[in-house]
Amino acid sequence: MRIKMLTTAASPDGVFLAGQVVDVTPKLAKAFVAGGYALAVESAAIEQPEKAVLAQAKPKKVKQNGAEARDSSDDGAGEPAGG
């Protein structure tokens, strides 16, 4: 029997997400419908749950300001510091 879940529920038969249309045993379907957790569905197609997809990160552009990197061991006069 097919039902559409109104809330997320779990049973020994599996986990059923809210909004999902699933095919379950008549006994389980009646229990979910009677408890207000699902609605009975007439021969509707079973919907597959959506899968989350991460957006692709854009490569970061490195800004170059034209200045050369200065080595911290250089004293600025082209000589190593301390010498």
- Give the start-to-end residue ranges of the domains of the chain: 2-40
Determine contact, residues 48/7, Cβ cutoff 8 Å.
Answer: no
Looking at residue 63, what is its pLDDT?
75
Distance from C-alpha of 17 to C-alpha of 45, rounded to nearest angstrom: 16
DSSP 7: S
Distance from C-alpha of 30 to C-alpha of 37, rounded to nearest angstrom: 10
Reported pTM = 0.50
Looking at residue 7, what is its pLDDT?
94
Looking at residue 12, what is its pLDDT?
85
Distance from C-alpha of 37 to C-alpha of 15, rounded to nearest angstrom: 13
Average pLDDT, consecutive stretches of 10 residues, N- to C-terminus, the chain (83 residues)? 92 90 91 93 66 79 64 57 59
Name the CA dihedral angle for 54, 23, 37, 49, rounded to a multiple of 10 degrees.
10
